[in-house]
Amino acid sequence: MKRIEKFIFLLIIFLLPANLFAWGSATHAYISKQLCQDNSDSLSIYGSVVPDFFNQERNSAYFNFVTKITHYNLDKIKKESNKRNLNKFALGFISHNEKWGSDLTAHKKARTNFRNGYASGKGGILAPFIEAELENLFITQGISFPFFLANSIASEIAHPLIEVAVDLQIKFHEDEFIGSDIKSSAIYRTAYVPDILISAYANDLSKKYKISRTEASDIIRNAENSFCESMIQYGEILNQEYDSAIQQLAEQGTEMINYYLNSSYAKGSFVTPEIMKRFIELAIEKTKDDYFKEISETIKYLKKRSEVKKLCKKISKTK
């Protein structure tokens, strides 16, 4: 494999684990808090972020399968949660899905003026600005194929940068406690959560890849444990002051990008935290005027879903 092709392969597979960019965890948590009147708690908050628990396993052979079933196969989660009287967890979980939930509006079908998803559409707007700055940077550093590299990196990071930008605005303009809520939901998440995920998905994983159910269960449990830790860390970042939160996210993003750039080129760091910070701030600029309208419309839309209404009714009866 040519060196440039190897780099792009590595970049696509490894660049964006969940502990680098949280894939809109604060946004999912905020949405879940609005769905049932006075019935939000740490269970629904953690439930709203945990469908992404396998995102940081992008180098796993099971990545595509697990991320698909956690975003589309919802019935078993509802069933297993109901057995344990954890309907608030189920509420958060199903609100996230990409079949009809908030991920659909983020990735495929926005509720406001976008032909595709809000984050996807905004990512397409942001990417050319990132690409132009990276191309100039790579040219000055004498990197081979600067346009190709810049284009590939920009297209990969623009979407998660948009999600991070919206998360930051949720924290600093809409819900100052969202970082604490995410952190607490992960710290105190019930031990039943991995059991629910295993009951819902381990058999499918076992059959798909012809592995034992025990092995499938361990894969799910270990990934969820790691994800839980990453949510604690992300909550801590969001609890910081505005500039500190952006700086820390920029440093993490820079470290990850440079690691894989250096893996292919064996040179010094190519991207600085200052550059990554500019990208985050640019993503904020591109979303600040309309992000909340999209989120508000998404909440209204989800509240009308029969699946959400039924769970809210169940939750209300058990109070």
What are 191-202's pLDDT values in tens digits? 999 999 999 999
Q: What is the pLDDT of residues 202-255, one digit of tens each?
A: 999 999 999 999 999 999 999 999 999 999 999 999 999 999 999 999 998 898
Is the pLDDT assigned to residue 46 strictly greater than 80? yes
Asked if 124 and 155 touch (Cβ cutoff 8 Å), the reply is: no
Cβ neighbors of 194 (< 8 A, separation 6 or more) are: 220, 221, 224, 225
Cβ neighbors of 292 (< 8 A, separation 6 or more) are: 169, 173, 174
SS3 35: coil
Task: Show the CA angle centred on residue 15, arms to residues 225 and 221, nearest 5°.
Answer: 15
pLDDT recorded at residue 141: 86
- Quote the CA–CA distance of 108 and 68 in Å, as a whole number: 15
The secondary structure of residue 50, as a DSSP letter, is: G
Q: Which of 314, 80, 24 is nearest to 196 (CA)?
A: 80
Q: How confident is the model at residue 70 (pLDDT cuts 50, 70, 90)?
A: very high
**Average pLDDT over the chain, rounded to an integer:** 89
How many CA atoms are closer than 13 Å to the CA of 167, on its beta-carbon side? Answer: 26
Is the pLDDT assigned to residue 16 strictly greater than 70? no
How many CA atoms are closer than 13 Å to the CA of 127, on its beta-carbon side? Answer: 19
Asked if 49 and 25 touch (Cβ cutoff 8 Å), the reply is: yes
- Quote the CA–CA distance of 156 and 123 in Å, as a whole number: 9
pLDDT recorded at residue 50: 97
Asked if 253 and 20 touch (Cβ cutoff 8 Å), the reply is: yes
Supply the pTM of this predicted model: 0.91
Asked if 3 and 260 touch (Cβ cutoff 8 Å), the reply is: no
Is the pLDDT assigned to residue 17 strictly greater than 50? no
- Quote the CA–CA distance of 267 and 245 in Å, as a whole number: 28
Token representation of residue 109: 């079908």
Cβ neighbors of 47 (< 8 A, separation 6 or more) are: 32, 88, 89, 90, 91, 92, 93, 95, 96
- Quote the CA–CA distance of 81 and 12 in Å, as a whole number: 34
The length of the chain is 319
